[in-house]
Amino acid sequence: MVRSLWSVMLVLCLGVTTVQAQTFRFGVTPWQKGQSQDDINHHYRKMMDYLAEKTGDRYILVSSRDYQQMIEYLAEGKVDLASISPVPYVLAKQINPKLKLLVTELSWDKARESLTDSYLGYFVALKTREDLQSIVDLKGKKFGFVKNESSSGFKYPNAILKEKGLDYQRYFQKHYFLGSHPRVTDAVAAGSIDAGATWDFNLKQAVIKHGDVFKIILTSPPIPNLCVVAHSTMSDEKAVQIRRALIEADASILKGLPAAGYVERPDSFYDVVRKVALGK
C-alpha cells in the first residue's frame, strides 16, 4: 500500500501522464481503382507511419469496393477518417452533418508551377481521332463515365452536358459506367469507346501507361480537391492534431498519391460541389 502511494506521488511530482495509443481506421476511396491492395498499402504506408509518429497512435488502412461503400463507412463510423473525393464527401456529410473536415489536398497545377486546392476534369479521346474536336462531335458516339458518385467521372460531366441542354442517355449512342478512371482511359486507348470522362491525375498516369496518345476535347471548371474527413466521434483535440500533422507533412511522404500537400479549408469551400451534385 505504501509503495502504491509513493508511486502515485512520484508520478504526480514528475508530471508524468500515461496516454493510451488509439487505433484509427483510415479509409481510402477508389480514386485509382485497378491498383491492387498491395499498391494502395504501398502508396499510403509512409503517410500512415508518419501520422503514427506524429500522434502516437496506430493507423490501419481500409479500402472500399466503390465510392458508395466509403460514403457509408465514413457516415456510419466504420472508418474513423478517410481521404475522400468531393462528391462522396458532400453525400456523406448529407447523411452525417457532424463529420469533421480536416484538410483539403493540394496538387500541382498543369504547368507544375504552383500548388492548387482544385483539379480539372476532362473529356478525352485519342489524338488520332481527327473527327472528335469538341463536345458537338460526340453526338451518337460511345462514351465512358466512371461511376455515378464520381465527381470528375460523372457528376461534373453530366452537369456540363445539362448546361448545354444535352441528356447523356440520348446524346450518346451508348454510354458505360466503367467503375474506375483507369478503366475509362484504358478503354479510350483500346478504341473500345470513342471518348471518356476522367481527371487530371489519372490522365497523367494514363500517359505513362499508354504514351502521349490522348487529347483533351473539353475541360471542366475547377473542382475542389479531395479532402481528409474525420467521423464525428473523433475528439476535437485529436482532429486538430491530425490536421496539423498533415499540413506539416513533407512532400516525400505523399509520393505516389494525388496530394502534394494539404491546406485547411472551410466546409463552404465544397458548396460548389453541392450545387453540382445535389442541386443546392
Q: What is the pLDDT of residues 152-207, one digit of tens each?
A: 999 999 999 999 999 999 999 999 999 889 999 999 999 999 999 999 989 999 99
**Domain ranges for the chain:** 20-116+224-278, 121-219
Residues in the chain: 280
Helix (H) or strand (E) holding 25: strand 23-28
- The residue-averaged pLDDT of 61-65 equals 88
List, in order, residues 6 or more apart from 183 with CB less than 8 Å away: 33, 34, 144, 146
* C-alpha distances out from residue 278 to 73, 87, 151, 229, Å: 20, 9, 12, 19
**pLDDT tens readout for residues 107-158:** 987 777 899 999 999 999 999 999 999 999 999 999 999 999 889 999 999 9
Q: Let me know if domain 20-116+224-278 sits in CATH 3.40.50.1010.
A: no
Global pTM reads: 0.80
Picking from 138, 118, 110, the residue whose alpha carbon sits closest to that of residue 221 is: 118
Residue predicted with more confidence, 36 or 279: 279
- Which amino acid makes up residue 74? L
The architecture in CATH of the region 121-219 reads 3-Layer(aba) Sandwich (3.40)
Q: How do residues 217-231 score in pLDDT, each as one tens digit?
A: 999 999 999 999 999
Contacts 24+ apart (CB under 8 A), 74-78: 74/27, 74/99, 74/229, 74/231, 75/99, 77/231, 77/232, 77/233, 78/25
Q: Same CATH fold, 121-219 and 20-116+224-278?
A: yes
3-class SS of residue 167: coil
Q: How far apart are the first and last CA of the chain?
A: 65
| All three cell numbers of 39 | 499498391
Phi first, then psi: give them for residue 71, nearest 5 degrees: -55, -45
- The predicted pLDDT at position 43 comes to 79
DSSP tag of 35: B
Query: Among 38-52, 98-112, 172-186, whose mean pLDDT is lowest?
Result: 38-52
